[in-house]
Chains A and B, each alone.
Chain A
């Protein structure tokens, strides 16, 4: 098709000739991409932090006093074999005493005289779970193991954390959906304004025999270019601002481990540019089609 290079060139020239509208469209698209992108990143980070938090919370499983070292090793293996158990750590009674003395500091003087024989603390396992929402079931399985005396009841915290995690992910999805719809509206309106400012040009093109396809191609190419440029700008903004934002967040809540930039950068750049192109193309072709059907169908010049 001989006309395609000409029409593509027209599209690129139009970007410059209508530079005010081009800039406006780019900025709107950048703002929408960043808004949506930051919402995604925010909820990713929160759920990441939640997972860390869940992992840090360990259940202490106390073993019966009469259990021999060999038996306690067996028990450890059994606990580890449970599917929802992420890791276990054995704490023998001597270490437990040491830990307690350390924790109590000066108040611990009372127990200082205790010898190994008199140590009343049991051996125990510190157990981390993979998924806190399965807390009840897992704890039941552990307590069914022979030789397990008791465990620290942690069900309330587990339930709260699970609920919070769920809330955060549901809220995150909704925020992204709402922002996505808002972005589409803004982009569609921006394109409609562009179209309106160029209706005379479209009418002229139609009057000298341009088919709707000829009119559409430059607009679609413009849309793609705007999408790519907006994607690149959004990626650059993300690159320079992410570490700063993350630094300031971890300054306020230092115990949260944030997803490092390198882990998300490539994905974010691809997502930004791809959604920029998709938004630009779909926005461009939908609104020109609607325009051509509704107003361009009957050109009223003069």
Chain B
């Protein structure tokens, strides 16, 4: 079991005495090698769930075990380390640092992990080769198309060879051809053994995945296997 969430609740404080529950008693398990989608309309708590799975945020209550480690009560620095080594993020709006070139962006997680310069450049090149952008490695994000930027972001996500790739609406800002390319990349990654979890509100995206969870009003409602 890679991800195991039990009765996770997440409230956001509004003022001193009031809070809004965003997630209510969410239980979720993701097996190693899964290729699954979490679907839900906007406001359903998808992004909050992704922030929790990705250790960007901690739950108000409940228990979360990631790759055998209880991450509910870890220190800020240990969580950073887990994000760095175990999880690769892909966001709707790519979130590349605009002042860095493609290869420098891909290198970023390895800088924080303390990988020596020579090794990280080699590994970054390899990751860019995987997403088919080796020839664009010295371009800045502003010189890349949306699809290319997202593929650089995927290269960055896999540069540390994480067990889990988390993608939040990865095709949301892309045309359908680029979107299809991105989904194809995810499938290849999954075939190579990486667990991929995509959060989306598009049925077409969910249809590409092996499994779909639905989230509505802060609760996971149903589970279905795709044919």
Residues of chain A at the chain B interface (Cβ within 8 Å):
2-3, 6, 13, 17, 200-201, 203-214, 297-302
Interface residues of B (CB under 8 A from A): 47, 51, 54, 56-57, 76-77, 80-81, 83-85, 89, 91-93, 95-97, 99, 108-109, 111-114, 116, 156, 160, 168-169
Contacts of A209 in B (CB 8 A): 80-81, 83-85, 109, 112-113, 160
CA separation between A193 and B169, bound complex, in Å?
30
| Residues of A close to B109: CB separation below 8 A | 208-209
The answer on a CB contact under 8 Å between B57 and A298 is yes
Shortest distance between the CB of A33 and any CB in chain B (Å)? 30
CB<8 Å pairs between A and B, sample of 30: A2-B114, A2-B116, A3-B112, A3-B114, A6-B111, A203-B95, A204-B95, A204-B96, A205-B108, A207-B56, A207-B83, A207-B91, A208-B83, A208-B108, A209-B80, A209-B85, A209-B112, A209-B113, A209-B160, A211-B76, A211-B77, A211-B80, A211-B112, A212-B76, A212-B77, A297-B57, A297-B76, A299-B51, A301-B91, A302-B92
- Enumerate chain B residues within 8 angstroms of A301, measured Cβ to Cβ: 56, 91, 95, 168
Question: Which residues of A are found within 8 Å of B156, using beta-carbon distances?
Answer: 208
* Identity of the chain B residue whose Cβ is nearest the Cβ of A207 in the assembled complex: B89
Main secondary structure of the interface of A (DSSP, over half): helix
Give chain A nearest CB distance to B48 CB in angstroms: 8
Residues of A within 8 Å of B81, CB to CB, are: 209, 211
Pick from B96, B99, B112, B169: contact of A210, CB under 8 Å: B112
Interchain CB contact under 8 A, A207 and B54: yes
Chain B positions within 8 Å of A3 at CB level: 111-112, 114
Q: Once the chains are docked, how many angstroms separate the CA of A148 from the CA of B154? A: 99
* Chain B contacts for A17, CB-based, 8 A: 99
Q: Taking CB as reference atom, which chain B residue is nearest A14?
A: B99
Kindly name the residue among A3, A13, A207 whose own CB sees the greatest number of chain B CB atoms within 10 A.
A207
